[in-house]
Amino acid sequence: MSATPADSQAPAPKAKGKLLIILLAALIVAAGAAAGGWFYLQSRKNLAAQAQDEAHEAPAAKRATPTYLALENMVVNLADAGGERMVQIGITLDLNDAKVVDEVKSMMPAVRNSVLLLVSQRSSEELLKLDGKEKLAADVRDEISRALGYDVPRAAARGQDGDDADERPRRRTRVPASPVNGVLFSAFIVQ
């Protein structure tokens, strides 16, 4: 009879071994599922980040090819004492699109007149300095925008002339953006 109690103890270790194997297999499956879920979520985050980056880069891609319009060179007398100084200036406009190029071409007499009047008010000292050229480029941009019918505030209205008498906050009205992105000088000779 001693064989019977020994037989009853032998199946118990097999059951514990099977239970341990099943628990280990379940743990491995759960760890694999957790790792798979983590990798899946990380890939979705990366895809979302890439889509967001591409969305931010899309406006830059729209303006990949710049649109330029070169104006004929102009020779203008400057506002120096004696009136003997002049400037030969070549201007190239950086415009939004080809539609604006056609608009500027149709308004060319008004555009050239605005630029000539603006440049003739400057002195040679002003135009020989970098900041004078940069200010002239900004003013030319504003004048051309006005000639095209865009409402651009004058320099005095913006407070650039040092006139700070009226410091009340002004109501800002939404003005359509100028179609002139920039003014580039292709020739600039002061004599």
User: Of 12, 47, 62, which residue sits at a domain end?
Assistant: 62
Residue 169 scores a pLDDT above 70: no
Radius of gyration of the chain (CA): 37
User: Of 23, 38, 62, which residue sits at a domain end?
Assistant: 62
Q: Is the full-model pTM beyond 0.75?
A: no
82: in domain: yes
Q: How far is CA 17 from CA 5, 23, 26, 31, in A?
A: 20, 10, 14, 21
- Domain containing 117 equals 67-158+176-190
Burial class (CB in 10 A: 0-12, 13-18, 19+), 34: exposed
Q: Which amino acid is at 34?
A: A
117-148 pLDDT tens trace: 999 999 999 999 999 999 999 999 999 888 88
Phi/psi at 123 (5° precision): -100, 165
181: in domain: yes
Q: Check residue 164 and give its pLDDT.
A: 46
**Do 91 and 116 share a domain, yes or no?**
yes
Mean pLDDT is lowest, of 33-42, 57-66, 74-83, 104-113, for 57-66
